[in-house]
Amino acid sequence: MPKYDYDLFVIGAGSGGVRSGRMAAQKGKKVAVAEESKPGGTCVVRGCVPKKYLVYGAEFGASIKAAQKYGWSLDNVKFDWAALRDSIQDEVNRLSGIYSDVLERNGATLYSERAEFVDAHTVRLTTSGKEVTAKNILIAVGGRPWMPDIKGGEHAIMSDDAFLLDELPESILIIGGGYIASEFAGIFAGMGVKTVQAYRGDALLNGFDDEVRGYAGEHQKLLGIDVRYNISPTEIKKTKGGYIVTFDDGSKIGTDLVFMATGRKAHTPDLGLENAGVKVDKNGAVIVDKYSQTSAKNIYAVGDVTDRVNLTPVAIREGMAFVETLYGEEKDAYDHSDIASAVFTRPPIGVVGMSEAEARKEHGDKITVYTTSFRPMKNILADKQDKCFMKLITQGKKERVIGIHIVGDDSPEIIQALGICVKAGLTKADFDRTCAVHPTLAEEIVTLKAKS
Ligand code: NDP
Site to probe by mutation for ligand 1, drawn from 144, 179, 236 as the one with most ligand atoms within 8 Å of Cβ, is 179
Give 347's DSSP letter: S
Q: Could you tell me if 33 and 132 lie in one domain?
A: yes
Q: Could you tell me if 352 and 296 lie in one domain?
A: no
Model pTM score: 0.97
Distances (CA, A) of 396 to 227, 369, 380, 452: 39, 11, 37, 17
The verdict on residue 48 lying in a domain is yes
Q: Could you tell me if 98 and 48 lie in one domain?
A: yes
Percent of the chain with pLDDT over 90: 98
For residue 311, the ligand 1 atom closest to its alpha carbon is 34
The residue contributing the CA closest to ligand 1 atom 9 is: 177
Within 8 A by CB and 6+ apart from 56, the residues are: none
Q: Which residues line ligand 1 (CB under 6 A)?
A: 148, 176-181, 183, 199-201, 206, 232, 261-264, 310-311, 341-344
The verdict on residue 452 lying in a domain is no
Give the span between the Cα atoms of 416 and 420, in whole angstroms.
Answer: 7
Q: Please tell me the distance between residue 201's alpha carbon and the centre of ligand 1 in angstroms.
A: 12
pLDDT at 364 over 90: yes
Give 68's DSSP letter: G
* Burial of residue 428, with CB atoms counted within 10 A of its CB: 0-12 exposed, 13-18 middle, 19 or more buried: buried
Q: Could you tell me if 422 and 388 lie in one domain?
A: yes
| Three-class DSSP category at 205 | coil
pLDDT given at position 2:
84
pLDDT given at position 218:
98
pLDDT given at position 451:
60
Q: Could you tell me if 254 and 280 lie in one domain?
A: no
Cα dihedral sign, 296-271-265-34: positive
What CATH number does the domain containing 353 carry?
3.30.390.30
Q: Please tell me the distance between residue 245's alpha carbon and the centre of ligand 1 in angstroms.
A: 20
Cα dihedral sign, 47-53-59-61: negative
The verdict on residue 336 lying in a domain is no
The verdict on residue 239 lying in a domain is yes
Q: Could you tell me if 104 and 174 lie in one domain?
A: no
The verdict on residue 451 lying in a domain is no
pLDDT at 418 over 80: yes
pLDDT at 452 over 60: no
Residues of the domain holding 427: 341-446
Give 39's DSSP letter: T
For residue 159, the ligand 1 atom closest to its alpha carbon is 25
pLDDT given at position 450:
75
Q: Could you tell me if 22 and 136 lie in one domain?
A: yes
Residues with active-site annotation: 438
Convert the pLDDT of each residue in 257-305 to its tens digit.
999 999 999 999 999 999 999 999 999 999 999 999 999 999 999 999 9
The verdict on residue 382 lying in a domain is yes
Q: Could you tell me if 244 and 187 lie in one domain?
A: yes
pLDDT at 315 over 70: yes
Give the span between the Cα atoms of 325 and 302, in whole angstroms.
Answer: 13
Q: How far apart are the first and last CA of the chain?
A: 73
The residue contributing the CA closest to ligand 1 atom 4 is: 178
Mean pLDDT calculated for residue range 235-243 = 96
Q: How many helices (H) and strands (E) does the chain have?
A: 13, 21
Q: Could you tell me if 172 and 237 lie in one domain?
A: yes
pLDDT given at position 32:
98
What CATH number does the domain containing 133 carry?
3.50.50.60
Mean pLDDT calculated for residue range 176-202 = 98
The verdict on residue 94 lying in a domain is yes
Q: Could you tell me if 165 and 251 lie in one domain?
A: yes
Q: Please tell me the distance between residue 146's alpha carbon and the centre of ligand 1 in angstroms.
A: 9
Which of 292, 327, 362 is at the close of a domain? 327
For residue 309, the ligand 1 atom closest to its alpha carbon is 34
Q: Could you tell me if 25 and 132 lie in one domain?
A: yes
Q: Could you tell me if 301 and 430 lie in one domain?
A: no
pLDDT at 366 over 60: yes
Which of 262, 292, 311 is at the close of a domain? 262
Domain count for the chain = 3
Kindly report the number of other CB atoms within 10 A of residue 294's CB atom.
24
Mean pLDDT calculated for residue range 370-378 = 96
CB 393 within 8 A of CB 367: yes
Q: Please tell me the distance between residue 262's alpha carbon and the centre of ligand 1 in angstroms.
A: 5
For residue 312, the ligand 1 atom closest to its alpha carbon is 40
On average, the pLDDT of the chain sits at 97
Site to probe by mutation for ligand 1, drawn from 187, 197, 200 as the one with most ligand atoms within 8 Å of Cβ, is 200
The verdict on residue 334 lying in a domain is no
